[in-house]
Amino acid sequence: MISALSHLVRLGRAGFVFAREGVLGLADPAALPFPAQTAVRLARLVERPSSDSKRGRLAAAFTRLGPTYVKLGQFLATRPDVVGVNLAHDLESLQDKIAPFPQAEAEGVVTATLGKPLTDIYAAFGPPVAAASIAQVHRAEVVTPDGRKTVAVKVLRPNVERRFRADLEALTFAATQAENFSAEARRLRMIEAVSTLRRSVALEMDLRLEAAALSEMTENTKADPDFRVPSIDWDRTGKDVLTLEWIDGTPLYDRAALEANGFDLKHLSHTVIQTFLRHALRDGFFHADMHPGNLFVDASGTLTFVDFGIMGRLSPKERRFLAEILYGFITRNYQRVAEVHFEAGYVPAHHSVENFAQAIRAIGEPIHSRPADEISMAKLLMLLFEVTGLFDMRTRPELLLLQKTMVVVEGVARSLDPKLDMWTVSEPVVREWMERHLGPAGRIEDAATNATNFLAGMPGLMTRGAVLVEQLDAITRDGLVLAPETVAAIGQAEARRGRWMTAALWVIAALLAWAIWLLLR
């Protein structure tokens, strides 16, 4: 009871701020039940007189409510299915920029986390150069065998976990009540949406996990052209502190500086798009906060990402889904796009594939009729998610995060090259993935992998079988006596199964050897 009351107080405060900032003025009272209409009219009495523009009201409310709601607003920008396309678009401008906390507090966090005096850790430790809801970044210097080196130090805000925990518990309470009383809330999976936000924030609260994400991407991309990530200083990294290479580069939002430094902006725009798609399709692990302030190009023209707090993952099934639908739209094979949705289990089988293909055609044809520089893959995915709602496709949060990131990536790329042809630039990466994974070589490799996994699991199967025999033996010793003919029948069945298992293993081994021979030819 006390817990529910505290949640209601927190939610009530949020409701007051929404009313004060004019958010309730965005609602259409005519579409609401009479009690709700009355509540909206009363709430609008406290609306700020200056709230005369509809755009930006929701973003202003989230900013006033603090760090948790800033993160919530950024997350809802990826969920047009929940807040609507217009509000999602307004939230895209929500910036995670908060006033920095005092220098002394930052230094205290560093010394507490790393267990040494600050002067033993860094040769110099400057004031914050950027601050967000969860952490802020300082420029510092360390002494190495090669001399002094500049590093970036990310420091977690003091007590930020407690604030987020309380706010997220209140949001979970609200989502639970909504799903208890609304079928639409259950379809939108609001509890899962809050849980996704909770997991995302939890990952950001431990800077060792961000360092691990950076390390994983370094390993994934070590052979990639025109791209790299900063190196990590593991000796100066802990739960609340992350130290990494300072990037001296030109941010991609500074077009004038890029031109002054002689960079090929068209090539850079292609690199941004192809790098993102390569990470999403090939690795299933992509930077999900690719706004221009996190993207730099160094003196050699190499693209560099920073701030790995928000990452996206796609399973092999989701990567195949993404590659096939993009390739299907590129080649205008709408029937195949529809079939992929059914094969992935995203659309219930009781719907018609043909009807779904017709709906997808209604999305694809208008896009193909536009000039190349007006085609947006992100908009295509957004329209696709809108249509799939008519066919009972449940929300896929990981795909929505991908779509949101693609919106930002396209914006960055088009700021560099306004005439960018998304299909032409994306097609080589998508086609390479298709040929690699869905062509003959990919199918042989999948078969070899499956066979290897089966063989690797055989010892476990045999162990479980031996345990079962021992248990059966114990049962017979404890008084359950089987008839002689039953025991004989079981023995014959086990012998037959052993022969078949041996034969199957030889066949699998032969197929595996043949597959490896083909791959090495």
Catalytic residues, by residue number, are 289
- Say how far apart CA 503 and CA 213 lie, in whole Å: 44
- What amino acid occupies position 475? I
Crossing angle of helices 190-204 and 67-76, in 10° steps, is: 120
**Tokens 């579409």 belong to which residue?**
31
Crossing angle of helices 397-416 and 190-204, in 10° steps, is: 60
CA dihedral 7, 10, 16, 21 (to 10 degrees): -120
Length of the chain: 521
Side-chain-side CA neighbours of residue 503 (13 Å): 6
Where does residue 308 fall: left (phi above 0), alpha (psi -120 to 50 degrees), or beta otherwise? alpha
> Alpha helices of 52-205 — where are they, by DSSP H?
57-65, 67-76, 80-83, 85-91, 103-114, 118-121, 160-181, 183-188, 190-204
329: helix, coil or strand? helix
Query: Residue 265 to residues 407, 414, 425: CA-CA distances in angstroms?
Result: 19, 10, 14
Pairing mode, strands 227-228 and 303-305: parallel
451 neighbors 511 (Cβ within 8 angstroms): yes
Give the torsion sign (CA, 207, 211, 213, 214): positive
Which tokens sit at 205? 């609260």
Q: Name the nearest CA neighbour of 290 among 197, 210, 406.
A: 406
| CA end-to-end distance (rounded Å), the chain | 70
Which tokens sit at 372? 């190349």
